[in-house]
Chains A and B, each alone.
Chain A
Amino acid sequence: MNTDDDVRRELEAVYEARKNRFRILVGIDGEDESYRGLQYAARMGANRSDCDIILVYVRPIDQGLHTGGLQARVARENLLSWGIELPGIRYLKKGLSMLVEDAEMDGDWVAEASHTDVQGDPLGDNKTEYRHKDGRSIVLKLKTAPDAASGILDQYELGPYDLIILGCGKGGRGPISSVFAPSVAEKVALHAPCSVFVARKLEAGHGHLIAVDGTDKAMEILKEEARIASRFADPKVSAICIAKTEAERAQAEAVVAKAEAMLKDEMDFQLKATYVRVGDPVKEIVDAGRDYSAIVLGCSERSLFYRMFVSSVPLEVVRRARNSVMIIR
């Protein structure tokens, strides 16, 4: 009983300590897009002692039928006996080398490895944490889960995290494919309790375009975006408000003006530009945001059930946009 309490207290202490840090979880799958997302995370936390970057590669739990009844571990062990690294380890190491030079790693960083058994999978979860003497850390996590989205969402539970960054293939997905075969990014964007950045054709330096609608929640999200953007050396954030009809244009203009003034007064943060467009919110946001590094939206206030089956503006933008999208929670 005491042991349980001790563990709980220890976990609470870890959670409490992590609350003061900016923790970014980056999903790595070996594709270029995920590494672009990692570079974005690196720019956000570059040499800042309050930022931890956690790289996670999710390996699906072996389904014996796919390998004809021979466990995939037999092939995996054979690869290791040849001195060949497994793909997940290879991808994570590449990510690490993008964050820290090998020479630097020898000096100021301390590495610690740990293993967690996963029921039904002998390889389990493996973690190596590299901790810098100034407090920041980089974690490589090789995780086993039924699928990539479940693994990333499970990892959040071990967090918490401020931001999840995921690479994603081309956008422009239709509603039917999204309902029946949602991408990993869509699943995580729908269910994650923290902000999610979906990296797609990500080019840094073009700034963020945030959509605002005048509600209190939108203003809070705008502040959060300003806080995140401030982590970059040269933050460039523009705001847009969509009026559904021409008659609402004046109201939308008032919204962006209010947003700009609020950021200036409360955070001394200057928006780069403000826009108003008239039309369908999803179409207009996707269109206006195509030249930016990322489109930023607040999480929908609709229930999870509604978002899963009917969708919402942020999720629709994630699906249809051809460039990166961040959903702030």
Chain B
Amino acid sequence: MALNALSSKALTQRMDAAGVRTGVRRFVNIGRQLNLYYFWEKRWFFIALAVGAGLLSVPTPENLSREGLIVLTMSVVATILFVTEPVPLPTVALMIIVGQVLLLGLESTQVAKSLMTDSVLFIMGSLMLAVAVVKQKLDKRIAWLIVRMTGTKTSRICFGISVVSGILASFIGEHTVAAMMLPVGITLITLTSDDPKKVRNLAAVLLFSICYGCSVAGIGTPSGGARNAIMIGYWKEFFYDPTNPETFKFIIDYVTWMLYAYPMFLLQLPLVTVILLFTFKPEYRDLSRAVVKLRAEVEVEGPLKPGDWVAIGFFFLILCGWIFISSDIGMGTVAVIGAIAFLVAGLVKWEDINSGVNWGVVLLYGAAISLGVQMKDTGAAEWVASNFLSLLTPIGADEGIGLWAAVSVLTTTVTNTMSNGAAVAVLGPIVLKLASVAGESPIIVGFITAVSSAFAYFTVVGTPACTIVYASGYLKTTDFLKVGWKMCVMSIIVMLAAAYVYWPLLGG
């Protein structure tokens, strides 16, 4: 776009008339070609680079190695770019890869190897499964199952949507369920009234039931979200030593994770519905008109077909694989086997998976985890943790519940400005080292971080479910603020209660 060129035409004519020298003219012509809008739009990219250059030019702080400073600088630059998004996010992954080779002097093969771990394989496999599950078109049947169970009262339907969305999302990921359930919510809204203004609050309650139901469930199992897999990977990378049986507890398998997190999810489910109903007060207390029409639509589908049964069977087999054999072969392997099964059975086309998965995100998580490992190896994570702890000491938040609350608030703040997976990838190394330095359990602090990363209730971009549901056009950004703070307070209280009372019973 050469927008500024138009306004300088008169200047050129004036220069011609005045016989301005060639050198000056050339300079002005260069100025005309410069696209200021481009630089303005990318300003955060240049600000991030300037911040990076500034950090690299300062003397290395005491107790921090030069390599640690470089990794820390890369993390700061990556965080600025994650939050402000001046360039496509996979570009940040590429910058992290190149930065490790050029700035840290690592072998490019070593960096390439660090990009693929079981956590990354798991994220990739889960995304492929997500596309496969959405493509089975089981959503109408799920919708009908919900209204058969709940009846036609609005409050019961909202609770039913939260429960079903939540239980499904806890196993197959919140993005999958949000994509499946969004049409259900919108159909119930539009069948109630064609005028969005007349069903403004009803729309908010139904759609938030989907996205918050999914959000609170995303912590339930490792397959609920990428952040869980990332934290499991960090625990193993940071604390597991095959020669030391004391460290075996840091291998958190599928069932162990569920034991810690699933009760929290179940406890939050009814509270989600209560908060939503009190905040938005739907215009219609009964949705019988919409339910009748929905039933008519579902009846057109006919009974479940053999392919549907096979898909449901695969889903349960994958679930069993995660629960029973993932500790031996890895959760990533199970997820990939599941994707293979759907492809071999012809239940999904590779083209659908290829276009439905954002492969750049897989690369991004791989690079972020790789950088997180460098944070540990270079001592940068420990240095940041020590300094952060010294800030917390004067306010008495350097141990116990004070420290947990501080970690939770920090994670909640960060996750509301970027995706929750990125938040855990960035903060994970720091908080785990923080736990070590403070003498706290890295498992509890790690869980607090992973769980708190789901508290991105305030913004549209905080969680995948919120982003997908917001795209329906029925919600405003201010709606997220209106209800988000209540959800956040509720979730933090439930989590701290679990950390204080329940998790120590599990040996955390």
Binding site for B on A (CB under 8 A): 30, 62-76, 78-79, 81-82, 84, 86-88, 90-91, 122, 146, 150, 153-154, 157, 191-193, 304-305, 308
Contact B4 A304 (CB under 8 A): yes
CB distance from A189 to the nearest CB of B (A): 12
Q: Cα distance A176–B226 when bound, in Å? A: 36
Residues of A within 8 A of B82 (CB): 65
Contact sample, A vs B, 29 pairs, CB 8 Å cutoff: A63-B85, A63-B89, A64-B89, A64-B361, A65-B89, A65-B361, A66-B464, A67-B175, A68-B226, A68-B421, A69-B175, A69-B226, A69-B361, A70-B131, A71-B358, A72-B471, A73-B356, A75-B134, A75-B179, A75-B182, A78-B183, A82-B139, A82-B140, A84-B186, A150-B41, A153-B1, A153-B37, A154-B1, A308-B40
Asked if B72 is at the interface of the complex by the 8 Å CB criterion, the answer is: no
Contact B36 A308 (CB under 8 A): yes
Binding site for A on B (CB under 8 A): 1, 3-4, 6-7, 36-37, 40-41, 82, 85, 88-89, 123, 127, 130-131, 134, 137, 139-140, 173-176, 178-180, 182-183, 186-187, 190, 225-226, 355-358, 360-362, 364-365, 418-419, 421-422, 460-461, 463-464, 467-468, 471-473
Contact A90 B473 (CB under 8 A): yes
Contact A74 B134 (CB under 8 A): yes
Given A30-B473, A70-B131, A70-B356, decide whether A65 and B179 contact each other with a Cβ distance below 8 A: no
Contact B472 A87 (CB under 8 A): yes
CB distance from B128 to the nearest CB of A (A): 10
**Chain A: CB-nearest residue to B44:** A180
Contact A67 B473 (CB under 8 A): no
Contact B422 A65 (CB under 8 A): yes
Q: Cα distance A305–B82 when bound, in Å? A: 27
CB distance from B268 to the nearest CB of A (A): 20
Contact A68 B174 (CB under 8 A): yes
CB distance from B188 to the nearest CB of A (A): 11
Name the one of B3, B356, B467 contacting A74, with C-beta atoms under 8 angstroms.
Answer: B356
CB distance from A226 to the nearest CB of B (A): 23
Given A84-B190, A122-B355, decide whether A67 and B3 contact each other with a Cβ distance below 8 A: no
Residues of A within 8 A of B419 (CB): 65-66, 68
Contact A78 B139 (CB under 8 A): yes
Given A193-B6, A305-B36, decide whether A75 and B468 contact each other with a Cβ distance below 8 A: yes
Contact B473 A91 (CB under 8 A): yes
Contact A65 B190 (CB under 8 A): no
Residues of B within 8 A of A305 (CB): 36
Contact A79 B361 (CB under 8 A): no
Contact A82 B179 (CB under 8 A): no
**Chain B: CB-nearest residue to A64:** B358
Name the one of A72, A146, A193, A308 contacting B468, with C-beta atoms under 8 angstroms.
Answer: A72
Q: Which 7 A-B pairs have the closest CB atoms?
A: A64-B358, A87-B473, A68-B464, A69-B361, A75-B179, A82-B183, A68-B175
Contact A70 B183 (CB under 8 A): no
CB distance from B335 to the nearest CB of A (A): 13
Q: Cα distance A157–B6 when bound, in Å? A: 12
**Chain B: CB-nearest residue to A192:** B3
Given A73-B356, A75-B182, A79-B472, 19 new contacts (CB under 8 A): A65-B82, A65-B89, A65-B358, A67-B468, A69-B358, A69-B361, A69-B464, A70-B176, A73-B355, A75-B178, A78-B183, A82-B140, A86-B473, A87-B471, A87-B472, A90-B473, A153-B3, A193-B3, A304-B4
Q: Cα distance A325–B459 when bound, in Å? A: 30
Contact B467 A66 (CB under 8 A): yes
Contact A78 B180 (CB under 8 A): yes
Q: Cα distance A76–B356 when bound, in Å? A: 11
Contact B1 A65 (CB under 8 A): no
Contact B182 A67 (CB under 8 A): no
Residues of B within 8 A of A81 (CB): 137, 183
Name the one of A74, A76, A79 contacting B131, with C-beta atoms under 8 angstroms.
Answer: A74
Q: Cα distance A62–B362 when bound, in Å? A: 15
**Chain B: CB-nearest residue to A32:** B197
Contact B362 A67 (CB under 8 A): no
Q: Cα distance A74–B176 when bound, in Å? A: 9
CB distance from B295 to the nearest CB of A (A): 15
Residues of B within 8 A of A67 (CB): 175, 358, 464, 467-468
Residues of A within 8 A of B36 (CB): 304-305, 308
Q: Cα distance A64–B461 when bound, in Å? A: 11
Q: Cα distance A30–B175 when bound, in Å? A: 25
Q: Cα distance A74–B129 when bound, in Å? A: 13
CB distance from A162 to the nearest CB of B (A): 14
Name which of A62, A69, A122, A305 has the most chain B CB atoms within 10 A of its CB: A69
